[in-house]
């Protein structure tokens, strides 16, 4: 059989020809589900034809003469990897040998061209991120998963699938987005060629399919789940995304299902634990650390217990900061809508490179109150003590066990010791050579499998014994009155001598006891802590004459404290170290002079800034104590009066500076407060185009006993963004004003872009203003990428060239307009540009005449110069798009989203008009398209738009036209219906995950399209009269009703906008859906979700619900208590269903 004959027969079989358009449009090759018989047939086709061809031609000539060979080889290679790869290295040789090609005679250029050509024929793109294994890695990923390797039980994929499945079970209500997040958090366990979205999606599809069958066939606890599945659906194996027609594949799947049904959800309790891992490569070792946050939901009681906080501390959203001296990660902990459960919002697992340092955590609630959190295993790894890791753990990393010596269960250990140590076997003659060194050559790493003594030049001895079956997991911790965030060296400090506690874990029970402690100063001279020796100390624990643990710390008197006393201006102030009993202090900052005044046990340090500008945020001091030759280094705020701002690198930010939203990370505004000072933030929207927006005021709570307030702008990003996007204007900006009684206001501005370019028409070029150019380094300017995209066509994209003068990048990009076609161009930054400047529209008009047949098209509309005429023309196009999902204008919209979607959505008037058209937004969300999920979700964040304001009728229309789109595309009705149901369910789930209020709206859509619905919808359909009262009771009646939970909100500042308009609804024909009780100023918040739900059901949108100038006030009502809005809106839709508002 010829190559073309085999290909055509393959595509025709199993309706592949009917799905031809979709499959050849970038879908992975495993999507074709090649059978074992077809694989053998393709191997024979390639081998037999090549046997003839190779007697006449070289392989590169065959590639040129036959356009079918390259794509068939790529298809074969991908399936060979899926069926035959056994884990013995990434090599082309067995693939080529299996079809009769001597790989040694094939040059790499020919092979690369062959692979590239084959991928093009299947409309696939090579993933360049794989690195050195680009070609074979792409082949491997196109095969999906190496089933032969998985069946053998080797490699990490088996373990990964089971871990992901367990995490999925713990989610309770898994969806594709959450499962993908879990898989990506485990990406380090995958071979590099599999670390890409293609494989993540495949693994997610396998998990989702399993969970679907587990629930539908009720497999939980089944003794024989395979038999039960066969009874439920005989062809269930065909539902999985990979072919399951050979012994290896069936074995993998069946074992996966048998193990998967045994997995049970974990309890919701958790602990915050730092895990360290040792890696070795080419004789160098490094230690990394990470925190494996729980991916399941956590109940409120567990959160309180884990963080040791009072119930009054907990708020709907909290921020957890985990840091060492060099790195910091921030993770949001948010309460799920309508529940008392929380979830960590993670995209990736935080990774720390400076793993030997102490790691600390701070939990901050929505009131800006902070709590220092003790991080389990977060202690500093003492430089003078051995570090022990498990060398028998899975993968290429060793898990940290403890510092010091002792017994260990693992048969093989990594032992890291200072360079001055050597190892000696305890019971046999053995010599040890280090397998790796630290980069600074100050530490060395050994692998041991026999008991050893780690010996130092100072006669220190640590005994380390592997393979001890009786070993308990023991560790040591310091307990006492900890001093946080002051000491730099050593990093750990206490007021009063801490207690050293030994923890022992045996049979899952934790026991603790006080350890015998030996104390020395940092010169290794013994000290008696009872004699009142303070400052830096060495603590160690001995058991049977062998050291088992050690730590460095500083100890202060038990009643020690400090105060920051601001002076009369920003350059002067005092620090009071009360009862520290220090003997001397030196300043380590050359621009700060100090004058210490010792008064008994205390010292007052007068500080003066001697630099030419303004003081830095922090100063470092070297502190000495009597009877202790070693100093400690501490860091305290410079005692400036007034307000100062700093960026993430602690560089000073001047008043009235303009920042972009993406520059808020790390920006802090700090002030030292006197007794009685009050602090509040005022946010004002500027440059609104004449629309009046009331300012947002936030009153800050002062932390108890703290004279310093630190405000992180990122904590207020949501409020700033709500204002910034409250009106349909690109150039709005938010004034951030910090008001402190007794000090002048401190003002910063935040807008949507970093800078605005100048356009020199006469020259012609675009340039960074000279006043702004000095704010960027030459390297940053070099990486500023400027692109010109023609928005009325889909084929004109130009990367502009920046001029360079003597190696210095000028910030000037030429754009000779006479070289480019007439049309409407946008000058904008690329997605990778180091500077995200303001995008600009540039119409080029010379001799162009509008083509008559273009009138009415999106191209024609985008080229209209007059704003109102252009808007009217685009609106006509949008009306066409909402009722025809195959309209060619959609391709143009997708092109603009692909090329310009990284820009702020207000940059392009097309997106602004989409947001004003609720039917168009429903179409955008549900149509089968190339739009990314993130792009669609950004509309509600970056434009005056709410998904809850889209009417039910608009959603139903969009679902109808989606079905029409799918059925027109696919020939076979059953396949089209299955794909439509999958696509609709998937798109609704994605939106529901972000906007839970839409639950019952989407249940109506599913019911109307014959999809399975949830229990609430079934109740509303089957027993409307009963559940009309039930839903009403859940909202209004009883102490645990949604309304009572809302009324318990402890705040005096309830937004009261639209008081009269909402009151009027209580007199309308829909009053039975409202809260008729009078709650005075609380009425707008209470009744707003009812009004919105009524309009979703009826399309009776009043003007105040669509008035752009009122949008920020609508968001305030919605966001006051999101749980209340989501639940009240959803249950009102449910009540509307039971009361006949929806015809089912």
Domain map (residue ranges) of the chain: 3-144, 153-260, 274-373, 387-556, 561-637, 643-751, 757-844, 852-999, 1014-1138
Task: State the CATH architecture for 561-637.
Answer: Sandwich (2.60)
Give the residues across from 595 on adjacent strands.
606
Instruction: Describe the chain by its helix, strand, coil percentages, rounded to 5.
Output: 40, 25, 40
CA nearest neighbour of 451 among 504, 494, 410, 481 = 410
Q: What is the mean pLDDT of each run of 10 residues along the chain (1144 residues)?
A: 85 61 62 87 91 82 80 91 78 87 77 85 75 74 80 63 65 60 68 70 78 73 75 77 70 71 54 86 90 78 82 83 86 75 77 87 81 82 90 74 87 93 84 91 93 85 86 76 89 88 54 58 63 81 75 90 86 92 93 93 94 84 89 91 81 87 85 72 88 83 68 86 87 90 84 88 82 88 93 84 91 86 90 91 67 72 89 94 94 93 93 95 95 91 94 96 90 85 90 92 95 90 91 90 85 83 89 92 94 93 84 90 92 95 88
984: left (phi over 0), alpha (psi -120 to 50) or beta: alpha
pLDDT in tens, 435-491: 999 999 999 999 998 999 999 877 778 899 998 877 776 777 788 888 988 998 888
Q: Is there a cis peptide before residue 764, judged by omega within 30 degrees of 0?
A: yes
What string of DSSP letters covers 855-913?
TTSHHHHHT--SHHHHHHHHHHHHHHHHT-TT-THHHHHHHHHHHHTTS-GGGSHHHHH
C-alpha span between 611 and 999 (Å, rounded): 60
**Residue 560 CA, distance from chain mean position:** 41
Q: What is the pLDDT of residue 188?
A: 62
Strand, coil or helix: 322: strand
Q: Is 757 helix (H, G, I), strand (E, B) or coil?
A: strand
Please say whether the beta carbons of 298 and 341 come within 8 A: yes
CB 551 within 8 Å of CB 378 = no
DSSP code per residue over 106-144: S-HHHHHHHHHHHHHHTT----GGGGGGHHHHHHHHHT-
* Residues counted in the chain: 1144
CB 478 within 8 A of CB 554: no
Q: Are strands 765-768 and 808-814 parallel, antiparallel or unpaired?
A: antiparallel
C-alpha 684, offset from chain centre: 30
For 268, residues 6+ apart whose C-beta sits below 8 A from its C-beta are: 296, 297, 298, 299, 302, 341
| Cβ-proximal residues to 519 (8 Å cutoff; 6+ apart), any chain | 526, 527, 528, 529, 537, 538, 539
- At 419 the three-state DSSP class reads coil
CA distances 841 to 788, 827, 1041, Å, are: 10, 6, 52
C-alpha angle 336-271-214 in degrees, rounded to nearest 5: 55
Enter the pTM of the model: 0.64
Contact 784, 866 (CB under 8 A): no
The CA distance from 1138 to 1026, in Å, is: 9
What distance in Å separates the CA atoms of residue 1112 and residue 1109, rounded to the nearest whole number? Answer: 7
CB–CB of 363/319 below 8 Å? yes
Q: Residue 627 and residue 622: Cα distance in Å, rounded?
A: 16
Which residues, including other chains, have CB under 8 Å from residue 835's CB and lie 6 or more apart?
Answer: 754, 755, 768, 776, 780, 781, 784, 829
Q: How many CB atoms lie within 10 A of CB 715?
A: 19
| pLDDT for the residue numbered 509 | 36
Nearest-angstrom CA–CA distance, 906 and 838: 11
Task: Write down the pLDDT at residue 132.
Answer: 55
Residues whose CB is less than 8 angstroms from the CB of residue 993 and which lie 6 or more positions away in sequence, other chains included:
175, 177, 178
CA distances from residue 419 to 239, 441, 450, 454, 944 in whole angstroms, order as listed: 58, 7, 21, 11, 63
* For residue 808, cis peptide bond before it (omega within 30 degrees of 0): no
Under a CB-based contact definition with an 8 Å cutoff, are residues 75 and 139 in contact? no
Please tell me the predicted confidence (pLDDT) of residue 421: 92
Alpha carbons 1112 and 1091: distance in angstroms, whole number = 17
b vs e for 122-154, b when ≥16 Cβ sit within 10 Å of the residue's Cβ? Answer: bebebbeebeeebbbbbbbbbbbbbbbbbbeee
Contact 632, 621 (CB under 8 A): no
CA proximity to 1002, closest of 1037, 950, 1051: 950
CB 914 within 8 Å of CB 939: yes
926-946 CB burial, b ≥16 within 10 A, e <16:
bbbbebebebbbbbbebbbbb
- CA 942, distance to chain mean position in Å, is 19
Backbone angles phi, psi at 175, to 5 degrees: -130, 175
d(CA 351, CA 355): 9
Return the bridge partners of 622, or none. Answer: 586, 633
Report d(CA 62, CA 69) in Å as an integer: 8
């Amino acid at each position: 059989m010829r190559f073309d004959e085999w290909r055509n027969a393959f595509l025709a079989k199993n309706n592949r020809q009917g799905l031809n358009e979709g499959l050849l449009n970038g879908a992975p090759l495993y999507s074709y589900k090649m059978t074992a018989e077809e694989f053998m047939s393709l191997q024979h086709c390639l081998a037999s034809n090549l046997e003839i061809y190779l007697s006449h031609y070289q392989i590169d000539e065959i590639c040129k003469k036959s356009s079918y060979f390259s794509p068939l080889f790529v298809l074969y290679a991908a399936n060979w990897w899926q069926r035959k790869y056994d884990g013995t290295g990434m090599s082309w040789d067995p693939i080529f040998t299996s079809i009769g090609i001597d790989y040694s005679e094939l040059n790499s250029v020919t092979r690369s061209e062959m692979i590239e050509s084959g991928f093009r024929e299947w409309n696939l793109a090579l993933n360049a991120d794989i690195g050195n294994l680009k070609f074979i890695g792409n082949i491997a990923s196109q095969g999906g998963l190496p089933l032969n390797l998985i069946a053998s039980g080797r490699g990490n994929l088996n373990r990964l699938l089971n871990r992901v499945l367990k995490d999925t079970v713990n989610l309770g209500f898994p969806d594709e987005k959450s499962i993908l997040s879990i898989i990506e958090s485990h990406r380090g366990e995958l071979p590099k060629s599999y670390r890409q979205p293609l494989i993540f999606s495949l693994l997610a599809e396998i998990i989702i399919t399993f969970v679907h069958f587990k629930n539908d066939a009720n497999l939980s606890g089944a003794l024989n789940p395979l038999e039960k599945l066969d009874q439920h659906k005989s062809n269930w194996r065909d539902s999985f995304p990979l072919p399951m027609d050979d012994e290896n594949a069936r074995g993998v799947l069946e074992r996966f299902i048998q193990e998967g049904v045994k997995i049970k959800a974990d309890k919701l309790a958790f602990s915050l634990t730092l895990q360290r891992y040792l890696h070795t490569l080419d004789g160098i070792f490094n230690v990394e650390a990470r925190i494996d946050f729980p991916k399941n939901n956590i109940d409120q009681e567990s959160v309180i217990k884990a963080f040791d906080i009072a119930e009054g501390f907990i708020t709907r959203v909290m921020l957890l900061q985990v840091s060492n001296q060099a790195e910091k990660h921030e993770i949001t902990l948010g309460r799920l809508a309508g529940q008392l459960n929380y979830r960590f919002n993670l995209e990736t697992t935080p990774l720390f490179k400076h793993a030997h340092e102490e790691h600390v955590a701070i939990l901050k609630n929505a009131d800006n109150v902070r709590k220092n959190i003790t991080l389990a295993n977060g202690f500093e790894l003492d430089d003078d003590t051995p570090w022990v890791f498990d060398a028998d753990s899975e993968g290429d990393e060793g898990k940290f066990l403890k510092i010091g010596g002792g017994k260990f269960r693992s048969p093989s250990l990594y032992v890291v010791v200072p360079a001055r140590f050597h190892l000696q076997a305890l019971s046999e003659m053995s010599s040890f050579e280090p397998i790796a060194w630290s980069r600074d050559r100050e530490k060395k790493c050994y692998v041991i499998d026999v008991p050893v003594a780690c010996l130092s030049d100072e006669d220190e001895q640590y005994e380390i014994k592997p393979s001890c079956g009786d070993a308990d997991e023991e560790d040591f911790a310091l307990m006492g009155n900890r001093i946080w965030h002051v000491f730099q060296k050593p990093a750990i400090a206490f007021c009063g001598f801490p207690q050293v506690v030994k923890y022992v874990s045996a049979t899952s029970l934790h026991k603790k006891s006080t350890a015998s402690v030996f104390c020395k100063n940092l010169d290794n001279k013994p000290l008696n802590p009872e004699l009142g020796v303070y400052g830096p100390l060495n603590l160690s624990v001995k058991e049977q004459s062998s050291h088992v643990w050690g730590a460095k710390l500083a100890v202060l008197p038990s009643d020690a404290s400090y105060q920051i006393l601001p002076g009369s201006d920003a350059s002067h102030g005092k620090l009071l170290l009360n009862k520290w009993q220090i003997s001397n202090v030196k300043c380590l900052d050359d621009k700060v002079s100090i004058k210490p005044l010792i008064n008994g046990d205390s010292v007052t340090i007068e500080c003066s800034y001697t630099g030419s500008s303004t003081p830095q945020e922090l100063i470092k001091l070297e502190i000495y104590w009597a009877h202790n030759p070693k100093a400690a280094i501490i860091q305290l705020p410079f005692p400036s009066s007034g307000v100062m701002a700093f960026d993430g690198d602690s560089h000073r930010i001047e008043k009235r500076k303009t920042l972009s939203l993406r520059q808020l990370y790390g920006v802090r505004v700090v002030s030292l407060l006197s007794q009685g000072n009050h602090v509040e933030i005022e946010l004002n929207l500027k440059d609104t185009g004449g629309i009046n927006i009331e300012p947002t005021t936030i009153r800050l709570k002062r932390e108890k006993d703290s004279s310093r307030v630190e405000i992180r702008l990122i904590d207020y990003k949501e409020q700033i963004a709500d204002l910034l996007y409250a009106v349909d204007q690109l150039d709005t900006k938010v004034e951030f004003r910090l008001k402190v009684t007794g000090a002048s206001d401190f003002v910063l501005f935040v807008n949507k872009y970093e800078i605005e370019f100048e356009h020199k028409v006469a020259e012609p070029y675009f340039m960074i203003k000279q006043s702004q150019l000095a704010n960027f380094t030459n390297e940053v300017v070099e990486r500023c990428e400027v692109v010109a995209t023609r928005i009325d066509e889909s084929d004109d994209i130009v990367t502009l060239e920046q001029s360079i003068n003597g190696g210095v990048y000028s910030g000037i990009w030429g754009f000779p307009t006479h070289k480019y076609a007439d049309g409407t161009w946008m000058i904008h930054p690329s997605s990778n540009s180091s500077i995200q400047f303001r995008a600009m529209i540039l119409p080029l008009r010379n001799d162009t005449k509008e083509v008559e047949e273009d009138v009415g098209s999106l191209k024609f509309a985008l080229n209209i110069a007059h704003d109102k005429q252009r808007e009217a023309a685009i609106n006509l196009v949008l009306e066409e798009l909402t009722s025809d999902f195959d309209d060619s204008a959609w391709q143009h919209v997708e092109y603009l989203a692909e090329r310009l979607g990284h820009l702020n959505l207000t940059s392009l008037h097309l997106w602004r008009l989409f947001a004003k058209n609720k039917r168009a937004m429903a179409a955008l969300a549900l149509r089968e398209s190339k739009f990314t999920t993130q792009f669609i979700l950004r509309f509600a964040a970056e434009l005056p738009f709410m998904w809850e304001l889209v009417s039910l009728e608009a959603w139903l229309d969009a679902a109808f036209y989606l079905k029409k789109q799918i059925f027109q595309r696919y020939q076979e009705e059953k396949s089209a219906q299955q794909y439509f149901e999958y696509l609709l369910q998937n798109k609704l789930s994605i939106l529901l995950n972000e906007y839970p209020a839409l639950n019952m709206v989407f249940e109506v859509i599913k019911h109307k399209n014959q999809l399975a619905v949830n229990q609430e919808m079934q109740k509303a359909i089957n027993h409307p009269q009963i559940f009309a009262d039930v839903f009403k009771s859940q909202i209004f009646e009883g102490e645990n009703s949604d309304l009572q939970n809302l009324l318990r909100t402890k705040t005096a500042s309830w937004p009261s906008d639209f008081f009269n308009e909402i009151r009027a609804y209580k007199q309308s024909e829909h009053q039975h859906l409202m809260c008729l009780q009078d709650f005075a100023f609380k009425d707008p918040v209470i009744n707003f979700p009812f009004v919105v739900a009524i309009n979703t059901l009826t399309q009776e949108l009043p003007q105040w619900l669509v008035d752009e100038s009122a949008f920020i006030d609508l968001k305030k009502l919605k966001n006051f208590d999101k749980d209340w809005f989501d639940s009240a809106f959803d249950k009102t839709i449910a009540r509307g269903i039971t009361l006949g508002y929806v015809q089912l």
